[in-house]
Amino acid sequence: MTAGVPVTDRAAMIANEPLRRHTTLHVGGPADWFLKIGAAQGDEPLRDALRWAASEGVPVTVIGGGSNMLVADGGVAGLVIKVLTPRPMIQIDRTDPAAPIVTGHAGMLISGFAEACGERGLAGLEWAVGLPGTLGGAVANNAGAHGGEMSTSFLDATLIRYDGTPEIVTLGDLAYTYRHSAIKDGTRRGVLTTVRVRLSPGDPAQLRARAGEYHAWRKGAQPQAASAGSLFQNPPGDAAGRLIEACGLKGFTVGQAQVSPVHANFIVNLGKASAADVLAVGDHCRACVRAQFGIELQYEVQRIGRWAAREAEQHDE
Ligand SMILES: Cc1cc2nc3c(=O)[nH]c(=O)nc-3n(C[C@H](O)[C@H](O)[C@H](O)COP(=O)(O)OP(=O)(O)OC[C@H]3O[C@@H](n4cnc5c(N)ncnc54)[C@H](O)[C@@H]3O)c2cc1C
């Protein structure tokens, strides 16, 4: 726990907030300090909080929907900022009718953002309808599905650096690769607030139908239980789920964490799983795939927080 009380009078920070309330896996210990921020507050309280953290030497971690994270049972040191804006309010610039530009807040749910674009005849994000998490998380992770991904549509964004100063980041700044960006790996540090994407014109009914197909596929092919999405990246030319299933691990359980019987690359929380349970299941899958196929699976889910020394040692790759 950091000493002292946050100085900002505009930002309502909470001490010792359990992060299991803020992750889709429903796992994770407390954040020393926690601040939820959305479009309604504007960037000032966020900048105040970041300046406070910088002046006190408090580490900062940013989350959105917490849908691609495994948070340690020991919680997260310092300040955790959650960027969430419940309503999908978008602004559209059709100056170039062939390439309309849509502006949204990073804290909007990506699914609602994508749906709102489709309803207004803006094509390019249908793959994201039904995807958990926020627009900011999708930008940071280069989220994608059904052959689409965020880097294809991303134009630019406001990034509030950890010293509280804003900058505009463009496509080239984010060093996008598969499910990866400079923001995710921490080489570009800051909090995304306003995001702009460039889309193309489309027919709302067709876009709705395509998004509906993708969403229905997701519901059938993926478990509906609490998870953090795909635990492992797909190795080149193969699928992590296929390899884990071929090892006979569907249903494999440690404590309350289980390899989903629906999709073997998803680990689900049966109720009260700990982060250690999830990691134990993941590591067992890795060990079996390594032994049977000689393939080293890499975690896609981001591991954050205070892990026990033994766990940290085993997982530094
Ligand atoms: C059931 C299920 C299905 C899924 N299917 C897919 C899929 O098909 N394709 C796919 O790509 N992913 C999938 N995911 C993973 C996840 O939904 C995406 O990666 C999503 O984009 C993460 O968004 P988030 O807001 O939850 O980010 P978080 O998990 O909260 O954070 C992810 C990263 O983004 C950073 N970040 C978040 N918000 C900001 C911000 N405002 N500013 C700066 N950095 C920020 C965080 O620091 C972290 O590095 C799935 C997850 C689940 C639970």
- The answer to whether the CB of 111 is under 6 A from ligand 1 is no
Q: How far is CA 27 from CA 82, 230, 261, in A?
A: 16, 16, 20
CA distance 314 to 243: 22
pLDDT at 5: 47
pTM of the entire predicted model = 0.94
Residues 6+ positions from 303 with CB-CB distance below 8 Å: 69, 70, 72, 279, 315
Compute the average pLDDT of residues 41-62: 92
229 lines ligand 1 (CB under 6 A): yes
The pLDDT of residue 1 is 41
Q: What is the DSSP track for 96-138?
A: STTS-EEEEETTSBHHHHHHHHHHTTEES-GGGTT--SBHHHH
On the question of pLDDT at 84 being above 60, the answer is: yes
Distances (CA, A) of 113 to 199, 269, 314: 12, 28, 38
Q: Report the C-alpha gap between 221 and 315 in whole angstroms.
A: 29
The Cα 251–Cα 90 span in angstroms is 42
Task: Give pLDDT, residue 112.
Answer: 96
Q: Does residue 230 carry a catalytic annotation?
A: yes
Ramachandran category for residue 78: left, alpha or beta (phi over 0 → left; psi -120 to 50 → alpha): left
Stated as kind and residue range, the H or E segment containing 197 is strand 190-198
- Give the pLDDT band (50/70/90) at residue 308: confident
Q: How crowded is the C-beta side of 121, counted as CA atoms within 13 Å? A: 9
Give me the percent of the chain exceeding a pLDDT of 90. 85
Confirm whether 300 is a catalytic residue.
Answer: yes
Q: List the one residue out of 141, 160, 90, 78 whose CA is nearest residue 120.
A: 90
Phi, psi of 186 (to 5 degrees): 85, 5
State the chain's mean pLDDT as an integer: 92
> For the chain, which domains are there?
14-83 (3.30.43.10), 91-221 (3.30.465.10), 240-315 (3.90.78.10)
205 alpha carbon to ligand 1 midpoint, in Å?
28
Residue with tokens 């995807």: 131
pLDDT tens-digit map of 101-136: 999 999 999 999 999 999 999 999 999 999 999 999
Q: Which segments of 199-274 are extended strands (E)?
A: 200-201, 253-254, 257-259, 267-269
Q: What is the pLDDT confidence band of residue 2, given thresholds at 50, 70 and 90? A: very low
Q: What per-residue confidence (pLDDT) applies to 40?
A: 86
Atom of ligand 1 nearest to the CA of 143: 11
Ligand 1 atom at minimum distance from 190 CA = 43
Comparing CA positions, the residue from 5, 95, 118, 119 lying closest to residue 52 is 5
DSSP assignment, residue 19?
G
Cα dist from 174 to 45, 142, 186, whole Å? 25, 10, 10
Please work out whether the CB of residue 131 comes within 6 Å of at least one atom of ligand 1: yes
Is 200 catalytic? The answer is: no
